């Protein structure tokens, strides 16, 4: 029992490190590589912070294990009164402050590209592809009519879908994100895009999907009992397919069931 806590804490830390190390090869990690240029930069930041925290974690557990080994033998010892070390306290205040300051400055560039609207692609800002409104428990999507620009107020020829967002592949796109009821979070895990949807605000979200495929769109904010089923999909497709999709949507939505009149009748 003497050295139980030494083995317990060191073993738990070793298992945690082991699982983190083998996790990626079993798919317990990110959902694969990022499919967006900005997502790759966010991953780099993530790994940098992971390295810093891992080194700290392992270092702290080596010291903890050593102390538990050294003083866990059960031999009676006389306790000594220490007032503390001024130099040591200064070091352990300044080093974490320095690390945090480094991370804060180092990530600013990626953060600005991700969040500051003046860094967004001007063409994408001028022509948002859609307005996405989160509500309990679905994503309502409003596109402008083909060839038109999205207006803040709904227009009679706008196109609507639910849980099915289409965007052109390989170019920056911008959506306007709203919420009809509570806080939701627009999350595209494969593109590393995550943005809260806040009632009363229209928040621009921009991203670029580099591979033509269907991606998950999920809600990353616990927004009520049906949160789990608030999942949709993002389809990135080539420009001509995207246009054809919107044209078809328009035809289906405005089909009045009456066959078009032929000119010669
Ligand atoms: Cu939600």
232 CA → ligand 1 middle, Å: 11
195 CA → ligand 1 middle, Å: 11
Q: How far is CA 89 from CA 92, 120, 126, 134, in A?
A: 5, 44, 53, 48
DSSP characters over 75-123: -----------HHHHHHHHHHHHHHHHHHHHHTHHHHHHHH-GGGS-HH
Predicted confidence (pLDDT) at residue 117 exceeds the cutoff of 90:
no
For residues 225 and 101, membership in a common domain is answered with no
State the pLDDT at residue 265.
Answer: 47
Look at strands 214-219 and 231-237 and give their pairing. Answer: antiparallel
Predicted confidence (pLDDT) at residue 17 exceeds the cutoff of 70:
yes
For range 70-88, the mean pLDDT: 83
Mean pLDDT of the chain: 90
For residues 111 and 13, membership in a common domain is answered with yes
Helices (H) and strands (E) in the chain, counts: 6, 10
178 CA → ligand 1 middle, Å: 11
Contact between 211 and 241 under an 8 Å Cβ cutoff? The reply is no
For residues 139 and 28, membership in a common domain is answered with no
Contact between 196 and 187 under an 8 Å Cβ cutoff? The reply is no
| CA 142/CA 161 separation, integer angstroms | 7
163 CA → ligand 1 middle, Å: 12
| CA 59/CA 65 separation, integer angstroms | 10
* Tokens 């078809």, residue located: 248
State the pLDDT at residue 226.
Answer: 93
Instruction: Report which of 226, 199, 47, 54 is spatially closest to residue 137, judged by C-alpha positions.
Output: 226
For residues 43 and 153, membership in a common domain is answered with no
pLDDT band (50, 70, 90) for residue 70: confident
83 CA → ligand 1 middle, Å: 52
Contact between 145 and 173 under an 8 Å Cβ cutoff? The reply is no
Give the pair of three-digit tokens for residue 166. Answer: 């289409």
pLDDT digits (tens, 9 = 90+) for 34-67: 899 888 899 999 989 999 999 999 999 999 999 8
Q: Percent of the chain at pLDDT above 90?
A: 64
For range 60-87, the mean pLDDT: 86
For residues 133 and 92, membership in a common domain is answered with no
Angle at 138 between CA 218 and CA 172, to 5 degrees: 55
| CA 203/CA 128 separation, integer angstroms | 12
Predicted confidence (pLDDT) at residue 114 exceeds the cutoff of 60:
yes
Edge-first strand listing for the sheet containing 173-179: 159-162, 138-143, 130-135, 173-179, 203-207
Predicted confidence (pLDDT) at residue 185 exceeds the cutoff of 80:
yes
For residues 170 and 241, membership in a common domain is answered with yes
141 CA → ligand 1 middle, Å: 14
139 CA → ligand 1 middle, Å: 9
For residues 66 and 176, membership in a common domain is answered with no
Angle at 31 between CA 162 and CA 52, to 5 degrees: 130
194 CA → ligand 1 middle, Å: 12
Predicted confidence (pLDDT) at residue 263 exceeds the cutoff of 80:
no
With b meaning 16 or more CB within 10 Å and e meaning fewer, what string describes 116-142?
Answer: eeeebeeebeeebbbbbbbbbbbbbbb
State the pLDDT at residue 112.
Answer: 92
181 CA → ligand 1 middle, Å: 9
Q: Percent of the chain at pLDDT above 70?
A: 97
State the pLDDT at residue 57.
Answer: 94
| CA 170/CA 212 separation, integer angstroms | 8
pLDDT digits (tens, 9 = 90+) for 4-16: 888 999 999 999 9
For residues 124 and 107, membership in a common domain is answered with no
Q: What domain range is 43 assigned to? A: 4-74+88-115
23 CA → ligand 1 middle, Å: 28
State the pLDDT at residue 55.
Answer: 93
Instruction: Report which of 93, 107, 115 is spatially closest to residue 49, judged by C-alpha positions.
Output: 107
138 CA → ligand 1 middle, Å: 7
State the pLDDT at residue 257.
Answer: 78
| CA 221/CA 23 separation, integer angstroms | 25
pLDDT digits (tens, 9 = 90+) for 194-252: 999 999 999 999 999 999 999 999 999 999 999 999 999 999 999 999 999 999 999 88
197 CA → ligand 1 middle, Å: 9
77 CA → ligand 1 middle, Å: 57
CATH, residue 210: 2.60.40.420
Predicted confidence (pLDDT) at residue 1 exceeds the cutoff of 60:
no
Predicted confidence (pLDDT) at residue 261 exceeds the cutoff of 70:
no
Q: Which residues make up the environment of ion ligand 1, defined by Cβ < 5 Å?
A: 184, 219, 223, 230
186 CA → ligand 1 middle, Å: 8
Predicted confidence (pLDDT) at residue 170 exceeds the cutoff of 60:
yes
Predicted confidence (pLDDT) at residue 82 exceeds the cutoff of 50:
yes
Last residue of a domain, one of 115, 134, 169: 115
Number of compact structural domains in the chain: 2
| CA 158/CA 144 separation, integer angstroms | 5
For residues 132 and 245, membership in a common domain is answered with yes
């Amino acid at each position: 029992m003497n050295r139980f806590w030494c083995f317990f804490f060191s073993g738990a830390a070793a298992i945690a490190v082991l699982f983190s190390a083998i996790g990626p090869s079993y798919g317990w990690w990110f959902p694969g590589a990022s499919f967006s240029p900005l997502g790759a930069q966010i991953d780099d930041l993530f790994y940098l912070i992971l390295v810093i925290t891992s080194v700290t974690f392992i270092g702290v557990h080596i010291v903890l294990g050593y102390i538990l080994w050294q003083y866990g033998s059960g031999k009676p010892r006389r306790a000594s009164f220490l007032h503390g070390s001024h130099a040591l306290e200064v070091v352990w205040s300044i080093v974490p402050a320095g690390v945090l300051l480094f991370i804060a400055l180092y990530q600013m560039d990626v953060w600005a590209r991700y969040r500051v609207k003046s860094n967004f692609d001007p063409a994408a800002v001028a022509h948002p592809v859609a307005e996405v409104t989160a509500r309990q428990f679905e994503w309502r999507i409003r596109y402008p009519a083909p060839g038109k620009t999205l207006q803040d107020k709904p227009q009679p020829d706008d196109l609507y879908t639910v849980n099915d967002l289409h965007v052109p592949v390989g170019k920056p796109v911008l959506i306007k994100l709203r919420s009809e009821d509570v806080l939701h979070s627009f999350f595209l895990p494969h593109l590393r895009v995550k943005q809260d949807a806040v009632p009363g605000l229209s928040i621009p979200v921009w991203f670029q999907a580099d591979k033509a495929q269907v991606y998950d769109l999920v809600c990353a904010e616990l927004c009520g009992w049906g949160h789990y089923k608030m999942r949709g999909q993002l389809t990135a497709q080539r420009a001509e397919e995207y246009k054809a999709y919107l044209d078809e949507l328009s035809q289906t939505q405005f089909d009045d069931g009456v066959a078009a009149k032929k000119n010669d009748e």
